[in-house]
Amino acid sequence: MQTTIKVGDSDVALDYNLAPQMVVFSHGFGVRSDSRGLFSGIVQALPHGWGSVQFDYDNFDIATNQLCVTPLAERIQRLKAVIDWARQQAGVETVNIVGHSLGCLVIAQLAPENIGKIILLAPPLALGSRFAEIYTKRPGAKHDGHTWILPRADGTTTVVDDEPFADLVSMDAEGELTKLAMFRPYSLILASADEVLPDADYTDILVMPSVNGMGIDSADHNFTGGSRGEVIRLVNQQLLGEEPAAQSA
């Protein structure tokens, strides 16, 4: 089902399925609400009695095929509004959250209260100049005035102004994940062959007692191919409170 909620000056579209146990999905940078199929696959395999909410952090223009990135503060505001909306729906008992990549850091910054399970998939530990270069050094990328125009592999164009881009680049990602673990327990699912975060060392976070860490061998950043089924299995086990036989990251 679909509906629209007002968040600040923006209309945010929700794609949802109501159930007593709800999962709100928080996607990463420059992608749509389904996280290029990652979240759609998880939604389709959710256990019986579990519902979902997917939404876009950014504004997509169908006519131009452009995705305009919103500032971090607005992303946090949208996540909070979606969680609040889910809590208010008839029959909903618990709201849980699954985040991927940059979407994990939005969750960490919000650190929502009265939440069920928090599951973070391949969160970045550091953004900085390398994060910017992943996008700005691609063929066809250009800087027009105060705006970056970034072509993407899926045929869309990501448009991001300098200020929100700088906010992301300067974020202390590891600090945010550490701080979240001090207030909210969460599960951390890592990709052992993460091409976006090849040098990430999660040791300091994994030793925290409130973090339940596990990894998937040979998984890339988006958990494609054979790792897709495994990440879905692990997410479901964490939602249900089961203890998986985690593989080494």
Give residue-wise pLDDT tens across range 138-189: 899 999 999 999 998 888 899 999 988 888 888 999 999 999 999 999 999 9
pTM, entire model = 0.94
pLDDT of residue 248 exceeding 60, the answer is no
Q: Are 51 and 93 in contact (CB under 8 A)?
A: no
The arithmetic mean of pLDDT across residues 115-121, rounded, is 98
Average per-residue pLDDT for the chain: 93
Helix axes 173-183, 102-110, angle to 10 degrees: 50
Task: For residue range 85-99, list pLDDT tens digits in order.
Answer: 999 999 999 999 999
Work out the pLDDT band at 243, boundaries 50, 70, 90.
low
pLDDT exceeding 90 applies to what percent of the chain?
81
Query: What span, in angstroms and rounded, lies between the C-alpha atoms of 31 and 27?
Result: 7
φ/ψ of 76, rounded to 5, equals -65, -40
Query: What span, in angstroms and rounded, lies between the C-alpha atoms of 37 and 206?
Result: 27
Task: For residue range 16-71, list pLDDT tens digits in order.
Answer: 999 999 999 999 998 999 999 999 999 999 999 999 999 999 999 988 999 999 99
pLDDT of residue 130 exceeding 80, the answer is no
Query: What span, in angstroms and rounded, lies between the C-alpha atoms of 92 and 33?
Result: 21
Query: For residue 27, how many other CB atoms are within 10 A of its CB?
Result: 26
Query: What span, in angstroms and rounded, lies between the C-alpha atoms of 115 and 124?
Result: 22
pLDDT at residue 169, as a whole number: 84
